[in-house]
């Protein structure tokens, strides 16, 4: 079945125009530093998660490694003050700045690492019953939250990137307890190279696909490449990112949105099974419909989900 597409301009939020970002002081090897420099801005966003109402993470430094240096020479940017970010508010197009227009040596870099202050009132989750659960991060003390992806800081320009914390993949519950660990699945994109996808369905369309519309909380999965066979989180063909389908009372429709998606071909898949997908288990999901969709830089592709037949 084919879904209907049309394109509209996407108003992306750029971290370079947000005034409340954090600055930092740098340390590390300076043997190869030249006079050329550029700006570097980092923002945080999140793919939404169920079962928790809030997730707080406190950052205190960012480490970057130039392509022509050893890992031991990586440069540490210590934030002037630790910055605590509540991730669950940063869905869709929402971002929070972590570093704004930091002056760094222009050139190519291999990776970026975020340093997090764990546990206590610094990094924790608030559950549905309002209780607070400290979050621990495996190997955080040794490696931090590392994003291995090359990037280039332009001379006399600014590179702005957004790092997506996919909480549905990253929050792991230990057995049947309330103890949670944060095993971050991070996705970094360059802000001037992304577009988005937004979609809607009315109650008639939804009721054709799902039996319980009143308590509906299904998801749309986005897979890289056209004509993909959809599968669950943690599978060999797991989604690039997921988005909930939520009811908009003002417009009277159900809607979803993917932001910060790199230009290219993707497959959308929709299912009604709410909490059926555990990130570390092989779950048997039934996808109700799929569609190929093209993401274009600087635009949003709008999708209307058709009636079931």
Would you state the pLDDT for residue 85? 92
- Work out the number of other CB atoms within 10 angstroms of the CB of residue 178: 11
Phi/psi at 88 (nearest 5 deg)? -70, -15
**End-to-end Cα spacing for the chain:** 9
Residues 144, 115 contacting (CB under 8 angstroms): yes
Phi/psi at 73 (nearest 5 deg)? -95, 10
SS (H, E, C) 219-283: EEEEEECCCCCCCCCCCCCCCCEEEECEEECCCCEEEEEEEEEECEEEEEEEECCCCCCCCCCCC
Alpha-carbon span 158 to 189, nearest angstrom: 14
Would you state the pLDDT for residue 171? 76
Would you state the pLDDT for residue 74? 92
**What average pLDDT values come out for the chain (309 residues) when binned by 10 residues?**
36 32 54 65 77 87 92 91 89 85 94 89 87 79 78 92 82 67 82 92 72 66 93 84 83 86 92 65 73 94 70
Would you state the pLDDT for residue 287? 80
Tell me the two tokens of residue 192: 């001037």
Tell me the two tokens of residue 114: 């975020």
Closest CA to 224 of 280, 301, 293: 293
Would you state the pLDDT for residue 306? 63
> Under 8 Å CB-to-CB from 236, ≥6 apart: which residues?
none
Would you state the pLDDT for residue 203? 74
Would you state the pLDDT for residue 135? 84
């Amino acid at each position: 079945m084919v879904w209907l597409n049309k394109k509209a301009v996407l108003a992306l939020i750029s971290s370079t125009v947000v005034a409340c970002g954090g600055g930092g002081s740098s340390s590390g090897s300076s043997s190869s530093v030249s006079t050329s420099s550029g700006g570097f801005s980092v923002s945080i966003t999140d793919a939404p998660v169920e079962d928790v109402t809030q997730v707080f993470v406190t950052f205190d430094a960012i480490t970057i490694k130039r392509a022509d240096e050893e890992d031991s020479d990586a440069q540490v940017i210590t934030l002037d003050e630790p910055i605590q970010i509540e991730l669950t508010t940063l869905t869709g197009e929402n971002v929070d700045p972590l570093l704004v227009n930091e002056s760094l040596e222009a050139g190519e870099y291999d990776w970026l690492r975020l340093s997090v202050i764990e546990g206590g009132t610094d990094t924790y989750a608030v559950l549905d019953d309002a209780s607070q659960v400290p979050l621990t991060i495996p190997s955080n003390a040794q490696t931090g939250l590392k994003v291995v992806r090359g990037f280039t800081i332009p001379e006399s320009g600014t590179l702005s990137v957004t790092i997506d914390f996919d909480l549905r993949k990253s929050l792991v519950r230990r057995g049947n307890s309330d103890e949670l660990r944060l095993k971050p699945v991070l996705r970094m994109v360059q802000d001037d190279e992304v577009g988005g996808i937004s979609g809607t369905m009315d109650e008639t369309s939804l009721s054709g696909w799902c039996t319980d519309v009143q308590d509906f909380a299904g998801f749309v999965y986005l897979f890289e490449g056209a004509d993909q066979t959809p599968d669950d989180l943690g599978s060999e063909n797991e989604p690039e990112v997921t988005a909930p389908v939520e009811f908009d009372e003002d417009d009277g429709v159900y809607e979803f949105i993917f932001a910060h998606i790199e230009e290219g071909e993707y497959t959308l898949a929709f299912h009604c099974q709410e909490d059926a997908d555990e990130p570390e288990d092989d779950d048997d999901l039934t996808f109700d419909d799929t569609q190929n969709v093209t993401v274009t830089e600087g635009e949003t592709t709008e999708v209307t989900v058709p009636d079931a037949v």
